[in-house]
Amino acid sequence: MDHRSQSRLNGLCGYVVDRVTHLRGDADWLAARLADPSSRVVPVWRSRNLIRQGADLSAVLLDRETAAELISTTETLVLLGEDEGVAYFAVGLPGREDELHGRLSNLGEFRDLRDTAALLPAREGALLAHARAMVFWHQTHRHCGSCGSPTRSAEAGHSRICLNEACKRSCYPRTDPAVIVAVSRGERILLGRKPEWPPGRFSTVAGFVEPGETLEEAVAREVKEETGIVCSEVIYHSSQPWPFPSSIMLGFHAFAASEAITVDTTELDDARWFTREEMVAGLLSGSFLLPRSLSISFRLIEDWFDIGRAEGMPTLRELGAGRTW
Ligand SMILES: [Zn+2]
């Protein structure tokens, strides 16, 4: 499978709106789309998305009439893009719980996408992830990074410009690259756990890319720092937007050239080698948990698991892994 197809299987992506970059500066087009009854608005409050609980979960997408007051009062309005003739916008609500917030809450509940995305249609999970990331960026870049003056939104919410005439610095939505890696050696995979996780939960090693290093160097450095393991080979797998709050996860497989683990206890509570048989036994007994299936970490582990899965051995999903932790 090629990398693009692999990435589409990860959660929070795979739904590609036409981002209509060339129309972001067209004020007339934007005004017409905002006035269009077919347009839809994705509200975001305190980095949470509005979710309706019916027989299944679904995203609450506001029509223009319902969103009119929100659009006219918000400081954060972003054109997300167009799909099948429908324009989608994200709108940030003020942090306080006011009357407007209360009225919207009647339509659903503002919930964390991490807890709900796996239960939403993939298309909606991707749309809400996009909206959440954009609103977070606006709400945390109200001042210029150079001179400290206030900034204003521009290009339909895709840049901010410093209001200081002597500065006028533009800044753009940021996404912070983080590498995440399934390291294997023979028939075993290296997994670690953070102290704040539920007992028995293990996942792949991950960390932010630092300035001045390649992605492959970041993979090798993070694995060495956190577990003491030396990587011999690093192979790209897929990527996943991870708006918690503003990352993109770059997934890799790596092969270990060493075996003895030295856990960095400032980062991890534990790190171990696991065989597939040990994972199956742990999942069956409930003593071993994996990340949610929404995450690229689960997919990296699942792909490694499937490559060497013995005939008759259940899949991770058949064992219920990744549903909760
Ligand atoms: Zn400035």
> 163: CA distance to ligand 1 center in Å?
7
Q: What is the percentage of the chain residues whose pLDDT exceeds 90?
A: 85
**At 246, which CATH number?**
3.90.79.10
| Whether pLDDT at 38 is above 90 | yes
Residue 224 placed within a domain: yes
Residue 131 placed within a domain: yes
> 86: CA distance to ligand 1 center in Å?
36
> What does pTM read for this prediction?
0.92
Together in a domain, 120 and 165: no
Task: Tally the domains of the chain.
Answer: 3
| Whether pLDDT at 40 is above 70 | yes
The range of the structural domain enclosing residue 155 comes to: 143-174
Average model confidence (pLDDT) across the chain: 94
> 25: CA distance to ligand 1 center in Å?
21
> 161: CA distance to ligand 1 center in Å?
8
Residue 260 placed within a domain: yes
- Inter-helix orientation angle 27-35/64-73, to 10°: 130
Residue 323 placed within a domain: no
Check if the beta carbon of residue 189 is closer than 8 Å to that of residue 274: yes
Check if the beta carbon of residue 226 is closer than 8 Å to that of residue 218: no
| Whether pLDDT at 324 is above 70 | no
Together in a domain, 160 and 45: no
Mean pLDDT of all residues in 87-100:
88
Together in a domain, 99 and 125: yes
Together in a domain, 24 and 84: yes
Together in a domain, 100 and 166: no
Together in a domain, 114 and 206: no
d(CA 111, CA 167): 38
Together in a domain, 27 and 87: yes
Together in a domain, 136 and 155: no
Q: 3-state class of 252 per DSSP?
A: strand
Residue 318 placed within a domain: no
Residue 313 placed within a domain: no
Handedness of CA 273, 7, 14, 179 (dihedral sign): positive
Mean pLDDT of all residues in 101-129:
91
d(CA 319, CA 314): 7
Together in a domain, 189 and 300: yes
> 153: CA distance to ligand 1 center in Å?
13
Q: What is the percentage of the chain residues whose pLDDT exceeds 70?
A: 99
Q: How many helices (H) and strands (E) does the chain have?
A: 9, 15
Residue 314 placed within a domain: no
What are the start-end ranges of the E strands in 202-276? Answer: 205-208, 231-242, 247-256, 270-275
pLDDT in tens, 260-309: 999 999 999 999 999 999 999 999 999 999 999 889 999 999 999 999 99
Tokens representing 30? 């934007």
Residue 109 placed within a domain: yes
> 165: CA distance to ligand 1 center in Å?
8
pLDDT of residue 98: 80
> 135: CA distance to ligand 1 center in Å?
21
